Amino acid sequence: MTVPKVSRLRSNFLAMMVWQVGNYLVPLATFPYLTRVLGAAQFGVLGYATAVATYGLIVTEWGFFLSGPKAVVERRGQPEALNELVWSTMAAKACLCNTQIDRKLAAVYPVLLAAWLTVFGSVFTLNWLLQGLERFSVFATVALAGRFSALPLTFVFVRHSGDVVFAAGIQGSAAVLTGLFSLIAAWRLGVLHRPCVSARSVRQRIRESADMFVSSASVSLFGVTNAVILAAMTTPYQVGVYTAADKLKTVANMVPAQINTVCYPRIASLFTAQPRSAARLTVLGAVATVVTTIAGATVIGYIAAPLTTLILGAGYAGSASLLRLLCLVTVFGNLAYFLGLQVLVPFGRARSRSWSMLAVGVLNVGLAIVLTPRFGAEGAAWSLLVAEAVLLAIYVSMILSRSSLRNHFTQLLSR
């Protein structure tokens, strides 16, 4: 009975790796082009607009990308309940989507508005549904179709530094296309039927995902906020260098990120019915996360200097040391995220996880405010490193201090 499950896990992971590689090929094709054509200052403006749009995305998503797959697992085999879940979640996201952007930011308002297409597209993007159904191959196809469809537009419409609005709008249009493709995929799978939604079901979706929202909002305090702080306290150049290094860091993070994504719905489905199997998969996932993270960080750290010169160009001095520092951050951050999602959440500790992330996120913001005026982008990276290390220590102490969490792992030692 375990062979098909292992085989399916392997195929799911393969599908997500194809998605991750393809997802990285798009920026790999456009990223060096944009850094050179826009220049460090305008690339910093693009990074700032993307960061602001990410805040809107966090509110609109409301943690549904975490609570949604689990809710789908619980409703498998119940077509009517699953259809209601899909429509009520989309309605909840539409209610949370706030298109009001501060017009006082006149200098960058058009760029912010163009970047906001990402938020609009997220309302009807059903990737969380496909993950919960463990249809990762469909998920990968949908996501890549959206990204690659918008790819040629960058080279057509972005020709000089004044085209930063087009650059932001093209990135946003990819999110809109992904949403449309995911709707079509859900309909073809027979999951999406006639709209079925009520005010009560919308409120229920929002209430059920509140803890996940706190945790996802707290994640922004670890990364996105640092770019905003840099924009407020330093120069666009520092924002550009930080944003560029952060994007390159994703190369080292490709494999561990997908381990977490693939394991989440499977561990959730095994947790009650087969706790021992859930524990075994959790241990394997944690070990794989640590090993692949360290391997990726080591490789990227070793080639950081030639990599940044090749991809970013000569106008991003100092980005190599910043990239090494951000890769080190992933060693702590990936394991902390895995333990929080795969251990604390199934044991009903979602609220403790969320508030811990919030507290440590505030710590990161405080450190960034102190360090960035003096050290610039590297100060923002150091504040992030300290915060991720503290969060991992908190999660480990929470697991060790509770017998139910310890027993989840020690049961593997008994026959």
- pTM over 0.75? The answer is no
Token readout for 139 is: 């998920």
φ/ψ of residue 63, rounded to 5: 80, 5
**Span of 77-81, 356-360, 410-414 with lowest mean pLDDT:** 410-414
Whether 367 shows a pLDDT value over 90: the answer reads yes
pLDDT of residue 16: 65
Tokens 């490193």 correspond to: 385
End-to-end CA distance of the chain: 19
Which of residues 373 and 5 earns the better pLDDT score?
Answer: 373
- Write down the pLDDT at residue 151: 79
Q: Where is 204: in which H helix or E strand? A: helix 199-208
Q: Of all residues in the chain, what percent carry a pLDDT higher than 90? A: 14
The H or E element that residue 187 is part of is helix 164-188
Confidence of residue 398 (pLDDT cuts 50, 70, 90): very high
User: Which of 81-90, 307-316, 318-327 shows the lowest per-residue confidence on average (mean pLDDT)?
Assistant: 307-316
Which pLDDT band, with edges at 50, 70 and 90, does 383 fall under? very high
pLDDT of the residue at 370: 93
pLDDT of residue 172: 87
Asked whether residue 53 carries a pLDDT value surpassing 90, the answer given is no
User: For residue 382, is pLDDT > 90?
Assistant: yes
Integer CA distances (angstroms), 209 to 54, 62, 89, 341, in order? 18, 7, 10, 14
Tokens linked to 399: 């697991």
- Amino acid identity of residue 405, one-letter, is L
* Model confidence band, residue 397 (pLDDT cutoffs 50, 70, 90): very high
Write down the domain spans for the chain.
12-208, 211-415
For residues 363-384, give the mean pLDDT.
92
- Residue 380, pLDDT score: 92
* Mean pLDDT score, 36-45: 82
pLDDT of amino acid 1: 38
Mean pLDDT throughout 186-214? 84
- Amino acid making up residue 259: I
